[in-house]
Amino acid sequence: MRILITGGCGFIGSHFSDHILRNTNWEIIILDRLSYASNGFDRLRDSKLFDDKRVKVLTADLILPIPHGLRQEIGQIDYLVHMGAETHVDRSLTDPRSFVYSNVVGTFEMLEFARSIACFKKFIYMSTDEVFGPSLDGYEFKEWDRYKSSTPYSASKAGGEELVVSYNNAFNLPTVIVHTMNVYGERQHPEKFIAKAIKKLLTGDVVDLYYDPKTGEHSTRNWIHARNVADAILFLIQYGEIGEKYNIVGEKKSNLHLMQLMCRTLDIKGLLLRNVDAKLARAGHDLHYALDGSRMKELGWKAPVDFENSFIHTVQWFAKPENRKWLDS
């Protein structure tokens, strides 16, 4: 088997590529634009992927059609996992155009490429819980619930998702869509909350936590380690039903709980915390997100590593002197 992974030099993509390398005998082709978020090939080098004979790394701007020469280099593939995307919500507020191009047009180009391949088996599209908007009154969104995007980021992911649905309906392209929630793990970019908070705690800086001043509630998310996401996607490559969507759900935790656990792990006695009104934090901020993970459970998938162990390991990994370079990338 041969698998093409777009965005494989990025945070989740590199974890997934490593997971495929360790748990299959497949050949891996990584296609990446090498934007600021990829850190070049550093993630692949750090996880010993770059020089492995089963891994081929190619560069391309995914918003453009795959040229003939690049098609030759990619060769025949059985699976395409489309992870390449713009993902940082704050950036989507200042530069929404790049998100539309990367997440909508880029998805279109990958779908077109996939449907040109003979004997193609499955296209996996990685979407987000944010397409559904805020979770109110504890509601957990199911896979086919309506969209209510709060930011250009979530809207662009919803647009890409609808393209995937249309290619399954119109062209019988074998597709599967996954919604993930807040993913964390080693080598994450410091623009993301976990890595950013670790850096601030290690340098004695103040950590901002969004909350509702009327209720005192802090933001909640379902948190999941990147390796658990990788395991779930490989599971869906093998067992996911064509034309379906699946929620990959972690454990629901407040940002305050994460900070308390982080401080205990780093043996920091005083938490430098500043509560920020979520409504004033930034445009489109939603206090709570939540997904229903029952479909994956019914299918037989269970996360291989629990939240607390994977979270503690991640914090300890970043705190090691040799790994702190990732907090400055």
Residue with tokens 């064509």: 242
CA distance 191 to 178: 23
Measure the CA–CA gap between 62 and 108, rounded to whole angstroms.
9
Residue 241 is a catalytic residue: no
Number of H-type helices and E-type strands within the chain: 13, 12
- Which of 109, 129, 143, 186 is the catalytic position? 129
Gyration radius from the chain CA atoms: 19
In eight-state DSSP terms, residue 212 is: -
* List 79, 125, 153, 184, catalytic entry: 153
Question: How big is the CA angle at 271 (ends 265 and 274), to the nearest 5 degrees?
Answer: 135
Report which of 13, 18, 142 is spatially closest to residue 82, judged by C-alpha positions: 13
Helix (H) / strand (E) element for 233: namely helix 226-239
- Can you state the angle between helices 11-23 and 226-239, rounded to 10 degrees? 60
CA distance 112 to 151: 26
DSSP-assigned letters across all residues of 132-174: G----TT--B-TTPPP---SHHHHHHHHHHHHHHHHHHHH---
Options 109, 130, 186, 286, the catalytic residue: 130
Taking the CB of residue 157, how many other CB atoms lie within 10 A of it? 29
Known catalytic residue at 32: no
Residue 205 annotated as catalytic: no
Residue numbers annotated as active site: 129-130, 153
